[in-house]
Structure 1
Amino acid sequence: MHLNHKNNYKKFLRQIYLVFAGILIVIPFIITAVATPAPDAYESFNKSFTDGVPKDTVPIPKTDSSSKGKDTTLRPVTAPAEEVTDSVPVSTDYTGTDSMFVPKLSKDSLDAPITYKAKDSIVLVVPDKRFYFYGTANTKYKKTTLSAERMNYTQSTGIMEATTAQDTAGKPYGRPQLDDNGQAFDSDTLRYNITTQRAKIYNTRSQYGEGFVASQQTKREPDNSIFGFRNGYTTCNLDTPHFQFRAKKIKVIPDKLVISGPANLEIEGVPTPLFIPFAIFPITHGQQSGILVPGYVVNAQKGMGLENGGYYIGLGDNFDLTLRGEVYSYGSWSLTASPTYRKRYHYNGGMTLSFANTRFGDPSVKTEFSRSRDFRVMWNHSMDSKARPGVTFGASVNFGTSSYNKFNVYDYSSRVNNNLGSSISFSKTWQGKPFNFTSSLTHSQNLTTRDVNISFPSATFTMNTIYPFQPKEVVGRAKWYHKLGIGYNGTLQNSVTFKDSVFGKSKMFDALQSGMKHAIPISFSIPVFKNFTFSPSISYSEYWFTKKTIRTFNRNKRVSIDSLGGIDTTYQSGFFSARQASAGVSLSTALYGMYQFGKDSKIKAIRHVMRPTISASLAPDLAKNAYYDLYYTRDSQKVRQSYFTSSSVGVPSEGRSGSISFGIDNNLEMKVFSKKDTSANKEKKIKLLDGFGINGSYNFLADSFQLSNFNIYARTNLFDKLNITAGGTIDPYVVNARGNRIEKYVWQDGKFSIGRLTSANIALSTSFQSSDKKSKQKEQEIQNIENEQSNDAAFQAQQRQLQAVRKNPGEYVDFDIPWKLDLSYSLTYSKNIIPDSGGVVKTITQYLAFNGDFSLTPKWKIGVNSGYNFIDNKLAYTNVYISRDLHCWQMSINLIPIGTYRQFSITISPKSGILRDLRLNRSRTFYDL
């Protein structure tokens, strides 16, 4: 290409009416006839482009001369029906259609519009049948886009070539970038044949899903399949990757597979001894069934083993199933099935069914051999609120044997949690009506005591408070009876408490309790003296029972080797009822106090809000027949016992009651000077105490001990950083030498106190962390996930990964936060006096929990989850982890150094999900049973 071609560019525009540009597949152009019937100097070139072209696909060029060939679009139009020739003149009137003449197109015309542009210039060399594009050239045809610093197209061969350019320093720039219907190529040189639709690409780098393929030479076939020569496959997004699989030959089937022959793993440019005979990397998107590769572990109790291996079965958009298993050399094994289901805008859920068989010791030595067979069932279900307005259904089930976590779970949160709980609930609300219905199944299980409580079925029907005497439109001042409200609450409850060893046996069903309770509250409120609220109320409750529990003392029953005498329990089925009624009034108000400081003080003011309440209630003795005398010692000492002590709906109180309840709640706030406040006052409000107070009651009609215990409490959140809660119970009566309460107040015994502190607790928690530069971005990502429908497959996958995060926290750390620390402290105290002996039992628990991490460098992080028991003076369950960010890989070390279950593991794995099975893991677990 000579420079005089560029200088003659304007002369070519004066001699021809149309300039047609090319793209990577084809660049059609049409040389129109001149204004006079004289033959063109390049008649043979024009004829070769127009012969044999259908009359109905003649492209008309834009007439805007301002573009100067830099940005042109060819569009097909309808040609006249009569046959045209090159010698017929073309009318210059483009506003009409009758006089317009359009020449024939050549056989290599395109079937779709083409757009092209170049920053510098576009040159057409008619004798050579070539187009040249200079300066950030870009062409687009259908779904294919090509950009490069230099491009040229040859009409005779149908080949488009794109290359780089060099700056004054000799460095290349403007590499060809090809995007062909989602396939991206970055290369040095690209050649494309418009006739065969084949391409030859040199020194290219392409992305397929999560992987990148770099090839010295690449051939692209018309079916979009790719053949590469001297290739490298990696998931590292750097130009010089940290690792790659080197293969001489490779084939890419778009949106399906990347297949290679023999390959060698190369790390940091250094070949390793690891060779594989072939490799298949899936690049399909969406749900795909496949094998889940197990990991190798060493367990001191179970031996060598393979864990978390199995198969994933994709069964469509609404259902999938994951099957996993574990097997160990000492004979232990486990199986887990995890199906999930979803239906858009209706519901979604998942279930986990696990069975485990754990062997201990040598089977040949029966005294040292034992076996534990365990199971666990987990189910989560949620219903979209828009599916059926007013109706909700949800489930969260976690049920299993008490020893399942002991032998089959290793994450920190499960180890320290000794309780399992489940709930399945259905509710319906009638729109525009005050009625609500709720039905549920609940389950709670203590893994330490092995106590299980199941409540099913449970149902509640509620009518919210209605005001039958209130007119729809109040005229004038409202009457007192307008605020008279009445409600209803009906509860059906079936519950049973048993040891997990008797599950499904007769003892479990013998302990089943059923009952129903009806409650009708009547209340209204009247403002008095402007600042007080007077609220009378009446309540009636009816209890129905289906079983009566009778306990008797058996003098001959042997409780232990050294003592005789125990309680026998019998059950009597039938229909039984009891009732309770009460009437009461309450009076409440709020008092405010403010203390102003001087103008120069940084503390502007302190405000104190006090809310005292007092109420009186009267209840007759309607439940006398629900109680009896239980003689529980050989000396015939007795205690009042209810026939329905184990009732699922409660028991009405015995005896008359005429009591006054009192309480006072306080709130303390402070205003201080703040430079950050943008208002004119420059003030900031700080809460000193969110609430602190005391409450109790006095029963005038009780035979003894009329004054109840005092309950004290306090709560605050200092500086929005330190959460503090505290509480306690104070007994106002003294005890004698044998530990029995006597009717004498503590302050009457010469002590300046309102009572004996029998229990107390305090809890503090706080959290600190350094600033996160990506916090806003992460918050937005979390918000997007929460706003998505929970039936989305990606969301379900994230939920299933939570368990993996807890098991190996070192693999899931945030390197954007240099350090963080969470602290919590709890102290509980109780003092109980044993009657008849006068012995005092004091119980104190004091525990500090802490977890956090910090970055030694931007790529190294150390974290710990632990706690300290001040009573036993030892560390609690501790998990230490070390993580190293290796860009496209990550290394994590997890260590549980102390306790019954000690563990060590080191894992090096790629971050890419497609290579998740290419992980190096070394794990050891130790037991002290």
Structure 2
Amino acid sequence: MRPIYLLFAGILIVVPFIIDAVATPAPHLSADFNKSFTDTVPIVKDTALLRKKDAISVKKDTSLPVLTDSTAVDSMDMPKLSKDSLDAPVTYKAKDSIVLVVPDKRFFLYGTANTKYKKVDLTAERMNFTQSTGIMEATTALDTSGKPYGRPQLNDGGQSFDSDTLRYNFNTQRAKIYNTRSQYGEGFVASQQTKRQPDNSIFGFKNGYTTCNLDTPHFQFRARKIKVIPDKLVISGPANLEIEGVPTPLFIPFAIFPITQGQRSGMLMPGYVVNAQKGMGLENGGYYVGLGDNFDLTMRGDIYSYGSWSLTASPTYRKRYHYNGGMTLSFANTRFGDPTVKTEFSRSRDFRVTWNHSMDSKARPGVNFGANVNFGTSSYNTYNVYDYATRVNNNIGSSISFSKTWQGKPFNFTSSLTHSQNLSTRDVSISFPSATFNVNTLYPFQPKELVGPSKWYYKLGIGYSTVLNNSVTFKDSVFGKSKMFDALQSGMKHNVPISFSIPVFKNFTLSPGISYAEYWYTKKTVRTWNANKRVSIDSLGGIDTTYSSGFFAARQASASLSLSTALYGMYQFSKTSKIRAIRHVMRPTISASFQPDLAKNAYYYLRYNKTGDSLRQSYFTSSSVGVPSEGRAGSISFGLDNNLEMKVFSKKDTSANHEKKIKLLDGFGINTSYNMLADSFRLSTFSIYARTNLFDKINVTASGSIDPYQVNARGRRLDAYVWQAGKLSLGRLTNANISMSTSFQSSDKKSKDKEKEINNIENEQSTDAAFQAQQRQLAAVRKNPGEYVDFDIPWKVDLSYSLSYSKQIIPDSGGVVVSFNQYLSFNGDFSLTPKWKVGVNSGIDFINKQLAYTNIYISRDLHCWQMSINLIPIGTYRQFSITISPKSGILRDLRINRSRTFYDL
């Protein structure tokens, strides 16, 4: 029996091995055998798909690499891959469930499914994948109300698609997308059908292009066919503009929308305008040239039907961590009247040059170079500028400066060119070259290492400074002519001060000092009365001016001794009073000085009218380095500065005292002097001043001069005090001015962040091209307030009031001239609705009883568009314009503008 048992046992062992050797894998004949139990499939996350010959392998939380080189590993270690295997792993996950159908080579993902393959990231509510075709399909699902949700979202290398249905082929990397919406730069493209190619190019059918970010855009360009070249262009065939879903009569044969990032050269489209003086015209058309990260150039031009034209070139340059700047060169030719009628025809040729340059402080420590130039003809603004800020500003100026500081040494050097120009009077002043060299105060008796108590002579200091200046003042009509060079003044001043300060009497500071100054000039100016000079048709007599060149010198020396202290006073109120205390601080200063008469030869008597009145004037009055004062002086000077503060009860204060400090007067004072060695007019004028900030809202500043002497009928001073005539007064008010300003606005939660951002743009010296564009946009906001409105602020008002008075003898006017000006300027805006804003910039001239240059603007926020209406209702240059333009920069040329300009000649 034992051999039979051994034979049977051997057969049982051998048969499984024989079956395994000859059997092939295949589905069971029974369909129920292959049924998937979808209700018991667990949620699988972060798994990797690896397709093999006849099955899909699923492994939880793993990602298996696919090897393309089969010789790299032993065939016993890695099974052979099927022909339809992918060249990279696919990771997938689903919130609800994942169903794999092995015989059909398909799997299904349910509930916020996500699939990742290389750079492709696909998310949808439903997904299914077919291995035989390599196609992944993503769709939405329906909620209980029958509405779809979970739209497929595809992100491929920065391209994003939002659609109803999406099919993606992993083998060919092509995709077919239905009812999709994609963003390219600032634009959005919505298409009924979209084909995506392996090179990422897009072909769309029945499309809409817009820059409105709403699901139902306010406007769009409808085109049957469209092509998208990523990071380059969106190109379409014939397109129709549609507004609020309604087609318009506006058709375009084709459209090209750039979606490139960074610097690109291209055309700048002009705007159509109608000008009463210049006729119909095209404005701001031109070309932009990008020449790399360090340089670019913008060229624009205007042309009008009546023959006027203008050209502007604006290059900018930058070098990171070194410098940045920009320049604007403008030329304009304005024609008036009919050229065939010579008596009625005239022409104005104008130019304007602006240049700004700033240097990074880290580029060369101790060295700085900067420029801010604004120079041009006086009539340039008259015929070529219309914005409010420029029109009301009659003064322009320029400054170019270079400075160097020697580290570790007490030397510093500054050189500059300055220019100022009054566009109303046409006076121009230029100072160049101007240089200053200073030696900081040195203390020769102070040891390097202080040991023991300080000696009084340790604080004895000596310094040195020298100033070189060349300046000229002339009318702009003589620019570059001999009259301009005749008026050129050159001078140099050397100054050596010796001073020190020591404390005395515990609370006083004594400051003695000696100073010597030397003045050098290269030109003397002599002004004489000419009784036969014709000033006007009805008037004879005027002042002639002559110049003589050479070397001239004048000098001045002085010795002084000053004593100063501070006195404090406090008045306490009762504890129940809302006013807790008032503190008064006085800072008196008294000084004595002596000055010998070293500049007597620098002065002469100038007669200025027919009656023979005259005054003392220097030969070097127009010199920019100054003129030493005339005569001996043994003066005692007195000054008093006051400060007044108050403490009041405040519930908002979190301290135990519940007190708030309020400044009543930031400063209030008076200064004068008495010259004991003068033959006459020993008491100088009283200078008074005051400044404060009331309620942290109203800034107030005031100053004036009081002359203590009497005057005769022709305004000449008499050596007699005003109070000697029986008047209870310190004297006559010869000049005074007061200014007040305030600003009110409604609360804006974003105001601090906006103000901080604007300050950063203004103050930061960045060389980044995008940052430079921000600065140019900030300047455009100030020039065109109607097109850039902050709708976050419901209302705001800015007020400024100024009053000035002067009464003085001006020789060129023949006697006493009284000037009185009173002006109120205001600007503000308010929101009629959250989307409508009305604003005004204007002022009132109380002396001439008329409104100043006024600009009224109305703005409407249209979400993706903005409308602005600008009106200048009064004045010589009246203007009306309405502009409707997209907010997007890519469609900035797609604007509707209608303007009218009226001239009162």
Query: Deviations along 1:640-665, whole A, 9 cap, x unmatched?
Result: 44332222211112211111111101
Greater alpha carbon shift after TM alignment, 488-497 vs 616-625? 616-625
Structure 1 residue identity aligned to 2:697: K
Work out the CA distance in 1 between the residues paired with 2:397 and 2:98: 74
Name the structure 2 match of 1:36: none
Structure 2 residue identity aligned to 1:84: S
Greater alpha carbon shift after TM alignment, 817-826 vs 802-811? 802-811
Question: Could you say if the C-alpha distance between residues 154 and 563 of structure 1 is closer, same or farther in structure 2, counting changes exceeding 3 Å?
Answer: closer
Name the structure 1 match of 2:7: none
Work out the CA distance in 2 between the residues paired with 1:566 and 1:780: 56
* Residue 352, structure 1, aligned to residue 328, structure 2: yes
Name the structure 2 match of 1:176: 152
1:201 positional shift: 0.5
Query: Deviations along 1:351-394, whole A, 9 cap, x unmatched?
Result: 11111111111112222111111111110111111111111000
Structure 2 residue identity aligned to 1:618: F
**Residue 379 of structure 2, aligned match among 403, 417, 437:** 403
* Residue 84, structure 1, aligned to residue 116, structure 2: no
1:548 positional shift: 2.2
Work out the CA distance in 2 between the residues paired with 1:388 and 1:209: 39
1:117 positional shift: 2.0
Structure 1 residue identity aligned to 2:75: V
Name the structure 2 match of 1:28: 50
* Residue 571, structure 1, aligned to residue 603, structure 2: no
Question: Could you say if the C-alpha distance between residues 3 and 215 of structure 1 is closer, same or farther in structure 2, counting changes exceeding 3 Å?
Answer: farther
For the aligned residue pairs, the C-alpha RMSD in angstroms reads: 2.5
Name the structure 2 match of 1:9: 41
| Matching of residues 67-146 of structure 1 within 5 Å | 69=60, 71-75=61-65, 83-85=74-76, 101-146=77-122
Question: Could you say if the C-alpha distance between residues 223 and 560 of structure 1 is closer, same or farther in structure 2, counting changes exceeding 3 Å?
Answer: closer
* Residue 282, structure 1, aligned to residue 258, structure 2: yes
Name the structure 2 match of 1:196: 172
* Residue 205, structure 1, aligned to residue 197, structure 2: no
Name the structure 2 match of 1:362: 338
Work out the CA distance in 1 between the residues paired with 2:85 and 2:761: 49
**Residue 505 of structure 1, aligned match among 455, 459, 481:** 481
Look up the SS of the partner of 2:231 in the other structure: coil
Work out the CA distance in 1 between the residues paired with 2:892 and 2:395: 33
Structure 1 residue identity aligned to 2:724: Q
| Matching of residues 770-809 of structure 1 within 5 Å | 770-779=746-755, 781-782=757-758, 785=761, 789-809=765-785
* Residue 251, structure 1, aligned to residue 230, structure 2: no
Name the structure 1 match of 2:352: 376
Q: Contact 2:84–2:132 (CA<8 Å) still a contact in 1? A: no
Look up the SS of the partner of 2:781 in the other structure: helix
Greater alpha carbon shift after TM alignment, 629-638 vs 112-121? 629-638
Q: Contact 1:338–1:353 (CA<8 Å) still a contact in 2? A: yes
Name the structure 2 match of 1:440: 416
Work out the CA distance in 2 between the residues paired with 1:260 and 1:334: 35
Structure 1 residue identity aligned to 2:54: F
Q: Contact 2:608–2:815 (CA<8 Å) still a contact in 1? A: no
**Residue 697 of structure 1, aligned match among 667, 673, 684:** 673
1:552 positional shift: 3.9
1:304 positional shift: 1.1
Name the structure 2 match of 1:91: none
TM-score if structure 1 supplies the norm length? 0.90
* Residue 861, structure 1, aligned to residue 851, structure 2: no
Work out the CA distance in 2 between the residues paired with 1:773 and 1:305: 43
1:80 positional shift: 9.8
Question: Could you say if the C-alpha distance between residues 236 and 566 of structure 1 is closer, same or farther in structure 2, counting changes exceeding 3 Å?
Answer: closer
1:109 positional shift: 3.9
Name the structure 2 match of 1:98: none
Structure 1 residue identity aligned to 2:781: V
1:802 positional shift: 4.5
| Matching of residues 280-429 of structure 1 within 5 Å | 280-429=256-405
Q: Contact 2:46–2:93 (CA<8 Å) still a contact in 1? A: no
Name the structure 2 match of 1:881: 857
Work out the CA distance in 2 between the residues paired with 1:147 and 1:186: 10
Work out the CA distance in 2 between the residues paired with 1:661 and 1:256: 75
Look up the SS of the partner of 1:28 in the other structure: strand
**Residue 224 of structure 1, aligned match among 194, 200, 220:** 200
| Matching of residues 464-613 of structure 1 within 5 Å | 464-554=440-530, 556-561=532-537, 565-613=541-589
* Residue 679, structure 1, aligned to residue 655, structure 2: yes
Work out the CA distance in 2 between the residues paired with 1:723 and 1:776: 21
1:698 positional shift: 0.8
Query: Deviations along 1:774-817, whole A, 9 cap, x unmatched?
Result: 33543454466468652221222233334543443211000111
Q: Contact 1:178–1:185 (CA<8 Å) still a contact in 2? A: yes
Look up the SS of the partner of 2:772 in the other structure: helix
Q: Percent identity of the aligned residues?
A: 82
Question: Could you say if the C-alpha distance between residues 288 and 602 of structure 1 is closer, same or farther in structure 2, counting changes exceeding 3 Å?
Answer: same
* Residue 760, structure 1, aligned to residue 760, structure 2: no
Query: Deviations along 1:869-898, whole A, 9 cap, x unmatched?
Result: 222222111100111111111111100000
Work out the CA distance in 2 between the residues paired with 1:593 and 1:20: 79
Q: Contact 2:41–2:97 (CA<8 Å) still a contact in 1? A: no
Work out the CA distance in 1 between the residues paired with 2:243 and 2:478: 59
Question: Could you say if the C-alpha distance between residues 601 and 705 of structure 1 is closer, same or farther in structure 2, counting changes exceeding 3 Å?
Answer: same
Look up the SS of the partner of 1:768 in the other structure: strand
Look up the SS of the partner of 2:287 in the other structure: strand
* Residue 649, structure 1, aligned to residue 593, structure 2: no
Work out the CA distance in 2 between the residues paired with 1:884 and 1:379: 35
1:20 positional shift: 9.4
Work out the CA distance in 2 between the residues paired with 1:419 and 1:429: 32
Work out the CA distance in 1 between the residues paired with 2:817 and 2:495: 40
1:697 positional shift: 0.9
Structure 2 residue identity aligned to 1:524: F
1:581 positional shift: 0.6
Look up the SS of the partner of 2:54 in the other structure: helix
Query: Deviations along 1:51-105, whole A, 9 cap, x unmatched?
Result: xxxxxxxxxx87xxxxxx4x543346899966335xxxxxxxxxxxxxxx44333
Work out the CA distance in 2 between the residues paired with 1:418 and 1:816: 33
Work out the CA distance in 1 between the residues paired with 2:162 and 2:39: 33
TM-score if structure 2 supplies the norm length? 0.92
Work out the CA distance in 1 between the residues paired with 2:806 and 2:540: 31
Look up the SS of the partner of 1:739 in the other structure: coil
Name the structure 1 match of 2:14: none
1:719 positional shift: 1.3
Question: Could you say if the C-alpha distance between residues 131 and 405 of structure 1 is closer, same or farther in structure 2, counting changes exceeding 3 Å?
Answer: same
Query: Deviations along 1:518-546, whole A, 9 cap, x unmatched?
Result: 00111100001111100001101111111
Look up the SS of the partner of 2:37 in the other structure: helix
Question: Could you say if the C-alpha distance between residues 838 and 133 of structure 1 is closer, same or farther in structure 2, counting changes exceeding 3 Å?
Answer: closer
Name the structure 1 match of 2:802: 826
Work out the CA distance in 2 between the residues paired with 1:453 and 1:902: 31
Greater alpha carbon shift after TM alignment, 586-595 vs 551-560? 551-560
Q: Contact 2:761–2:775 (CA<8 Å) still a contact in 1? A: no
Look up the SS of the partner of 1:914 in the other structure: helix
Greater alpha carbon shift after TM alignment, 221-230 vs 142-151? 142-151
Work out the CA distance in 2 between the residues paired with 1:445 and 1:737: 36
Work out the CA distance in 1 between the residues paired with 2:94 and 2:829: 53
The number of aligned residues is 871
Work out the CA distance in 2 between the residues paired with 1:470 and 1:433: 16
Q: Contact 1:808–1:894 (CA<8 Å) still a contact in 2? A: no
Work out the CA distance in 1 between the residues paired with 2:605 and 2:359: 50
Name the structure 1 match of 2:23: none
1:340 positional shift: 0.6
Work out the CA distance in 2 between the residues paired with 1:196 and 1:787: 53
Query: Deviations along 1:5-62, whole A, 9 cap, x unmatched?
Result: 313536x99xxxxx9956xxxx4345xxxxxxxxxxxxx615xx89xxxxxxxxxx87
Work out the CA distance in 2 between the residues paired with 1:304 and 1:235: 31
* Residue 269, structure 1, aligned to residue 245, structure 2: yes
1:144 positional shift: 2.2
